[in-house]
A and B are shown apart, each in its own frame.
Chain A
Amino acid sequence: MIYLDHAATSWPKPPEVIRAMADFLEQAGGNPGRSGHRLSVAAGRMVYEAREAVAGLLHAPDPLRVIFTLNATHAINLALRGLLEPGDRVVTTGMEHNAVMRPLRALEQRGVTVVVVPCAPDGSLNAADVGRALAPGTRLVVVNHASNVVGTLAPVAEVAALAHADGALLLVDAAQTAGVLPMDIEALGIDLLAFTGHKGLQGPPGTGGLVLGKRVDASLLRPLLHGGTGSRSEFEAQPEFLPDKFESGTPNGVGIAGLGVGIQWVMARGVEAIRQHEIALTRRLIEGLGNIPGVQVYGPTDAAQRTAVVSFTVEGRRVSEIGLRLDEEHDVLCRVGLHCAPAAHKTLGTFPQGTVRLAPGASNTLAEIDAAVDAVAKVVRS
């Protein structure tokens, strides 16, 4: 089987990740930060270590400004619904996932102005277009770091500089980039970064988080959930300190145990090494698919300008048929359709039929890419 759906979730997970999760349930399964007994302390220590791992990997200034959530969508909702007020203006792009567009459209109903900056047909964003869209009252700019449809990278540092010059904050959706692209939140000027644990970070589903940069005044960010935090228990008001303010309820300890070890795995292998490996796989895939008559490949032609996500269509053929035949006849697993990103497909010109998406990851080999290209060629021929 050739697994080419790492943009949906990475697979297989490193054995260490699975072992850490089993160990958590067997040996350190207390409720983190609640009780003072050894199992609770062990669980709490493990959650804190994972917080440090996230901060270390992303060069975040403070592990306590890493807020764990269930996934990137949860983190994006916390940022958008926690920050934006009726009358605020938010600028985003034509390459966003519904994790961004749906909460923004809901906020629009409540008086938030949403401005969408168009992107080029290869998904690329011109930072100057964002600059032109900024206007007084713009509270936030939201940018997808890399497209989940075609992998196109956004010019995050340039957008950050423009946003800050106009007094706006920058929220980056890093669902596709955390763990596969070297990242320095401070250097890039990212104010809020939403990540998921189960893709490039090699952790399990049910993990993710929002990282707050130095410019974000956490007292202005409202929590999505209120409840027990194991702290200030004599008061019925939500605590204001981090991370407790935003982490009510028992956390996903078993998932975070896996996430922490997943990040260790990524750091041991090296993000730069993973990046170079994925560029090599992507280059081979783009070249191979481009040589098949009738196949149209979307996104930037240079593999270094994108993450390892390659979308294509075949003239006169339905994407669902191609996906099914790749799976059943050739053991190649991919994702077809709109990938929860109708806005991005409109930008690419592939709405509403969608694309076939092949998304290699750290565990794939060049030989697997060659086999997958052969499989596509066979499906296209017959």
Chain B
Amino acid sequence: MNTCGVVLFHTSSMAFRAEKILARSGLAVKLIPTPRELSSDCGIALQFEWAQRQQVEALLQQAQVELSQMQRIAL
């Protein structure tokens, strides 16, 4: 995961829902502590491969998962 993205959620419950939906579709995702420079919306954020962002967006939208923001980050 050299170039990564993170999705931030208002509530960790939504993060767990997103993790489940994306992992079920075979995407490599990981729950990490929310990078401090982004927000403290909730304590955890979902890390994904930036190259898969369109799939991530499409799957979350389809499942009506409300997210607070999506960012590219350098690890």
Which among A33, A64, A243 is the interface contact of B44 at CB below 8 angstroms? A33
How many A-B contacts if CB must be within 8 Å? Answer: 70
Give 1 or 0 for each of B1-27: 1 = CB within 8 Å of chain A CB: 000000000111111110110000000
Asked whether B42 lies within 8 Å of A64 as measured between CB atoms, the reply is no
Assembled-state Cα–Cα distance A35/B44 (Å): 7
Set of chain A residues within 8 Å of B16, measured between Cβ atoms: 44-45, 47-49
B34 to chain A, nearest CB (A): 7
Which among A45, A48, A233, A242 is the interface contact of B40 at CB below 8 angstroms? A233
Assembled-state Cα–Cα distance A151/B44 (Å): 44
Set of chain B residues within 8 Å of A51, measured between Cβ atoms: 13
Asked whether A244 lies within 8 Å of B11 as measured between CB atoms, the reply is yes
The number of chain A residues touching the other chain, given as a range, is 20 to 34
Q: State whether the Cβ of B49 lies closer than 8 Å to any Cβ in chain A.
A: no
Q: Does more than half of chain A's interface fall in helix, strand or loop, or is it mixed?
A: loop
Q: Which of A44, A48, A231 has the most B CB atoms < 10 Å from its CB?
A: A231
A35's closest neighbor in chain B, by CB?
Answer: B43
Q: State whether the Cβ of B32 lies closer than 8 Å to any Cβ in chain A.
A: yes
Set of chain B residues within 8 Å of A217, measured between Cβ atoms: none
A32's closest neighbor in chain B, by CB?
Answer: B12
Given that A36-B33, A41-B31 are contacting pairs, would A64 and B11 also be in contact in the complex, using a CB cutoff of 8 Å? yes
Q: State whether the Cβ of A269 lies closer than 8 Å to any Cβ in chain B.
A: no
Assembled-state Cα–Cα distance A230/B43 (Å): 6
Asked whether B33 lies within 8 Å of A37 as measured between CB atoms, the reply is yes
Which among B34, B40, B44, B45 is the interface contact of A44 at CB below 8 angstroms? B44
Interface residues in A152-195 by Cβ distance below 8 A to B read none
Set of chain B residues within 8 Å of A242, measured between Cβ atoms: 11, 13
A242's closest neighbor in chain B, by CB?
Answer: B11
Assembled-state Cα–Cα distance A242/B13 (Å): 9
Assembled-state Cα–Cα distance A231/B50 (Å): 25
A235's closest neighbor in chain B, by CB?
Answer: B40
Q: State whether the Cβ of A126 lies closer than 8 Å to any Cβ in chain B.
A: no
Which among B10, B20, B34, B44 is the interface contact of A244 at CB below 8 angstroms? B10
Assembled-state Cα–Cα distance A228/B10 (Å): 14
Asked whether A45 lies within 8 Å of B19 as measured between CB atoms, the reply is yes
Set of chain A residues within 8 Å of B32, measured between Cβ atoms: 36
- A selection of 22 A-B contacts at a CB cut-off of 8 Å is A32-B12, A33-B12, A34-B43, A36-B33, A47-B13, A48-B16, A48-B17, A48-B20, A51-B13, A63-B13, A64-B13, A229-B11, A230-B12, A230-B42, A230-B43, A231-B11, A231-B41, A231-B43, A233-B40, A241-B11, A242-B13, A243-B11
Q: A35-B43, A48-B13 are in contact. List 16 more A-B contacts (CB 8 A).
A: A33-B12, A33-B13, A36-B34, A36-B43, A36-B45, A37-B33, A41-B44, A44-B44, A48-B16, A64-B13, A64-B17, A231-B10, A231-B41, A231-B43, A241-B10, A242-B13
Q: Which residues of B contact A (CB under 8 A)?
A: 10-17, 19-20, 31-34, 40-45
Q: Which residues of A contact B (CB under 8 A)?
A: 32-37, 40-41, 44-45, 47-49, 51, 63-64, 229-234, 239, 241-244
